């Protein structure tokens, strides 16, 4: 459904993407993880026709981004990282214009359904600039779904939202998953990827360094982690294959230590060398 | 080739934004203040002591002010809106990712610029009619005005797409639009200028709008000016379409 094959992209001397290859299957929710500047948004911009790739191929719904841009536009919905709603227009006007651009039939009914689904119908005539960050993200999601796209790109959909609102967003994304749409989410919230995604890919400095289901990535890295405070005062981690191996490592540790199951963030830190939010 | 009729949502979006802006008290005033100051200073003040080809200076000035106002407003609306939407608000992405042609985006933006230019021109015409009741709007005047709005809205697309920051659009305005407003015959007859300056001034599109907009009937000079404006309009439209078609972040 979404296929990247050897995709490279440079901005001047900066190599944003370096021969990235992976594919997202039909109906799959795929998470792209990586620290800031890893190339996640560039990859989304290539697939959603905002940025031209330098080399490689990218296909969306079987269509090539170089040749079939017009057809791709009919099957994608995008929630960008930067809010690109018309802030001077009302919620209703934003969806009206988007629906007309995408030739959505029975538009008024669809707009009402969309606004109700994200709890914004009562605020339909309010100007968007007066909305909270969470309301604006929900409206972006409603707009992206208005034309019933087969493929949805969510670039940091819950960035900057408080935990409660983030979980509301997750509920909406889970409903999208039930509808059978293909979804590519970029995020640097590890728990978001763990909660929503069938598979994740980890991008580090423009390269894909891991690709599998969250469970398998954790299993490959080691099922258990030993955490202890090192002599420099920093938190140290050691990934172990089995609980017994972890217990033995903890026993050898002279300082107090904790053994716990590995989570996706541990995998992320190991592969990227950086913490996540 | 199919004609791009998908421009309407692009145009409607701009009109909705325009409607919201119009509701702000200061907006109308800011659109009118400069040309009305010129009308009072040069037309009603200095103009009392000046005649042009035996006629009143005010009657000469009003078409020039309309040409200047339509240029400023058509250009500034499109250039500023497109540049801000592309670089800061990112709303231009929504248009680029929608299933419509680059020509549709261009036409929608240009038509919005034309409406803005005509709206500001109408305000000047109302004030002009009150100041000089003998002034009349002719068919040639209307054609020149529409063509001028189209041309400068197209130029606005070019600047809006090319400028690397919003400050850049001000630079284009200061070096292109503002000198044109004063040098192109808004306030005086260009045919009386020294030959070298006249040659430069005749390259400027607004000069030809000012020639055409003041003609009571088509003569050789009017046809030449009409042809020059059409060529400029086509070039700006074509380049604007190319810039949108090749949009790449």
A81 part of a folded domain: yes
In this complex, do A80 and B93 lie within 8 Å of one another by their Cβ atoms?
yes
pLDDT, tens only, B35-53 = 788 888 877 777 777 878 7
ipTM reported for the complex, 2 dp: 0.88
Mean pLDDT of A187-215: 88
Least-confidence region, from A98-107, A219-228, A265-274 = A265-274
Chain B residues in contact with A52 (beta carbon < 8 A): 248
Residue B5 pLDDT greater than 80, yes or no: no
Mean pLDDT, chain B, rounded, equals 90
* Residue after which a domain boundary falls, among A212, A227, A243: A212
pLDDT, tens only, A134-182 = 899 999 999 999 999 999 999 988 887 888 888 888 888 888 888 889 9
Which among B13, B98, B248 has the least Cβ separation from residue A51?
A: B248
CA-based nearest residue in chain A for residue B89: A84
Q: Which of residues B159 and A231 earns the better pLDDT score? A: B159
Residue with tokens 């070019």: B158
Chain A residues in contact with B100 (beta carbon < 8 A): 101
Which among A49, A76, A88 has the least Cβ separation from residue B96?
A: A49
- The reported pLDDT for the residue numbered B22 is 84
Residue B232 pLDDT greater than 60, yes or no: yes
As given in the structure block, the two tokens for residue B136 are: 């009349």
pLDDT, tens only, A55-99 = 999 999 999 999 999 999 999 999 999 899 999 999 999 999 999
Chain A segment 111-170 residues within 8 A of B by beta carbon are: 127
Chain A residues in contact with B87 (beta carbon < 8 A): none
Give the C-alpha separation, A73 to A40, whole Å: 20
A248 part of a folded domain: yes
Same domain, A200 and A222: no
* Residue after which a domain boundary falls, among A212, A236, A257: A212
Same domain, A67 and A166: yes
Range of the domain at A234: 217-272
Confidence of residue B12 (pLDDT cuts 50, 70, 90): very high
- The reported pLDDT for the residue numbered B1 is 44
Residue A49 pLDDT greater than 90, yes or no: yes
- The reported pLDDT for the residue numbered A232 is 73
CA distance A197 to chain B (A): 25
CATH number at residue A191: 3.40.50.300
Same domain, A233 and A110: no
Q: Which letter does DSSP use for residue B40 in this model?
A: I
Confidence of residue B3 (pLDDT cuts 50, 70, 90): low
Whole-number percent of chain A with pLDDT over 70:
97
Q: Which of residues A21 and A251 earns the better pLDDT score? A: A21
CA atoms within 13 A on the CB side of B37: 6
pLDDT, tens only, B207-227 = 999 999 999 888 999 999 999
Residue A97 in contact with partner chain B when CB distance is under 8 A: yes
Strand order in the sheet with A182-187: A76-79, A151-155, A182-187, A29-33, A199-204, A207-212
Confidence of residue A277 (pLDDT cuts 50, 70, 90): very low
- The reported pLDDT for the residue numbered B107 is 96
Same domain, A30 and A141: yes
CA-based nearest residue in chain A for residue B95: A101
The per-residue b/e assignment along A226-235, b for 16 or more CB within 10 angstroms, e otherwise, is bbbeeeeeee
Cβ(B143)–Cβ(B68) below 8 Å: no
The per-residue b/e assignment along A146-159, b for 16 or more CB within 10 angstroms, e otherwise, is bbebbbbbbbbbbb
Same domain, A201 and A221: no
Mean pLDDT of B192-197: 91
Same domain, A201 and A246: no
Same domain, A168 and A244: no
Cβ(B145)–Cβ(B67) below 8 Å: yes
Domain borders along chain B are 8-245
In this complex, do B97 and A49 lie within 8 Å of one another by their Cβ atoms?
yes
3-state secondary structure of B55: strand
Same domain, A69 and A189: yes
pLDDT, tens only, B115-144 = 999 999 998 898 888 887 777 889 999 999
Residue A74 in contact with partner chain B when CB distance is under 8 A: yes
A277 part of a folded domain: no
- The reported pLDDT for the residue numbered A262 is 78
Q: Which of residues B94 and A161 earns the better pLDDT score? A: B94
Long-range contacts of B34-41 (CB under 8 A, 24+ apart): B34/B72, B35/B65, B35/B68, B35/B69, B35/B120, B35/B124, B36/B124, B36/B127, B38/B65, B38/B68, B38/B187, B39/B65, B39/B124, B39/B127, B39/B128, B39/B131
Whole-number percent of chain B with pLDDT over 90:
63
Same domain, A237 and A180: no
Same domain, A230 and A185: no
**Structural domains in chain A (count):** 2
Dihedrals φ, ψ of A16, to 5°?
Answer: -75, -40
Q: Which of residues A221 and A118 earns the better pLDDT score? A: A118
Give the C-alpha separation, A204 to A210, whole Å: 9
Same domain, A71 and A146: yes
Q: Which of residues A264 and A102 earns the better pLDDT score? A: A102
Residue with tokens 């020039």: B64
Same domain, A22 and A77: yes
Residue A240 pLDDT greater than 70, yes or no: yes
């Amino acid at each position: 459904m979404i296929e990247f094959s050897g995709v490279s992209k440079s901005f001047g001397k900066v190599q944003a993407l370096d021969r990235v290859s992976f594919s997202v299957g039909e109906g799959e929710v795929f998470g792209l993880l990586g620290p800031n500047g890893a190339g996640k948004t560039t990859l989304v911009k290539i697939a959603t026709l905002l940025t031209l790739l330098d080399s490689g191929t990218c296909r969306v719904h079987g269509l090539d981004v170089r040749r079939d841009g017009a057809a791709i536009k009919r099957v994608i919905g995008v929630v960008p990282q930067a809010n690109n709603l018309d802030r001077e227009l009302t919620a209703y006007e934003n969806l009206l214009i988007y629906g007309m651009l995408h030739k959505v039939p029975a538009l008024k009914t669809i707009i009402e359904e969309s606004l109700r689904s994200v709890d914004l119908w009562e605020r339909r005539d309010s100007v968007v600039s007066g909305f909270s960050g969470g309301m604006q993200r929900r409206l972006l999601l409603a707009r992206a779904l208005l034309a019933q796209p087969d493929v949805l790109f969510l670039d940091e959909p819950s960035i900057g939202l408080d935990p409660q609102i983030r979980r509301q967003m997750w509920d909406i994304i889970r409903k999208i998953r039930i509808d059978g749409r293909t979804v590519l989410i970029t995020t640097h919230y590890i728990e978001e990827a763990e909660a929503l995604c069938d598979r994740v890919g980890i991008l580090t400095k423009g390269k894909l360094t891991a690709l599998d289901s969250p469970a398998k990535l954790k299993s490959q890295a080691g099922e258990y982690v030993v955490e202890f405070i090192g002599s420099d005062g920093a938190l140290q981690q050691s990934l172990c294959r089995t609980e017994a191996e972890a217990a033995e490592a903890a026993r050898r540790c002279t300082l107090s230590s904790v053994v716990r199951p590995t989570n996706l963030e541990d995998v992320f830190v190991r592969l990227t060398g950086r913490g996540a939010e | 080739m199919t004609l791009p009729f998908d421009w309407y949502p692009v145009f409607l979006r701009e009109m909705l934004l325009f409607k919201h802006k119009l509701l702000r008290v200061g907006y109308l005033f800011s659109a009118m203040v400069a040309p009305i100051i010129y009308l009072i200073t040069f037309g009603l003040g200095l103009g009392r002591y000046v005649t042009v080809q035996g006629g009143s200076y005010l009657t000469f000035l009003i078409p020039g002010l309309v040409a200047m106002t339509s240029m400023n407003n058509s250009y500034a609306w499109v250039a500023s809106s497109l540049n801000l939407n592309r670089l800061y608000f990112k709303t231009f992405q929504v248009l680029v990712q929608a299933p419509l042609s680059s020509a549709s985006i261009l036409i929608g933006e240009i038509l919005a610029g034309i409406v803005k230019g005509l709206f500001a021109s109408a305000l000047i015409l109302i004030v002009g009619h009150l100041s000089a009741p003998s002034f009349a709007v002719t068919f040639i005047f209307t054609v020149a005005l529409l063509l001028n709005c189209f041309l400068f809205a197209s130029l606005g697309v070019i600047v809006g797409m090319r400028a690397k920051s919003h400050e850049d659009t001000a630079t284009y305005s200061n070096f292109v639009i503002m000198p044109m407003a004063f040098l192109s015959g808004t306030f005086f007859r260009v045919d009386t200028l020294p030959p070298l300056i006249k040659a430069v001034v005749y390259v400027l599109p607004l000069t030809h709008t000012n020639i055409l907009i003041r003609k009571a009937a088509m003569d050789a000079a009017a046809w030449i000016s009409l042809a020059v404006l059409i060529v400029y309009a086509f070039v700006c439209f074509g380049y604007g379409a190319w810039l949108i078609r090749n949009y790449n972040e």
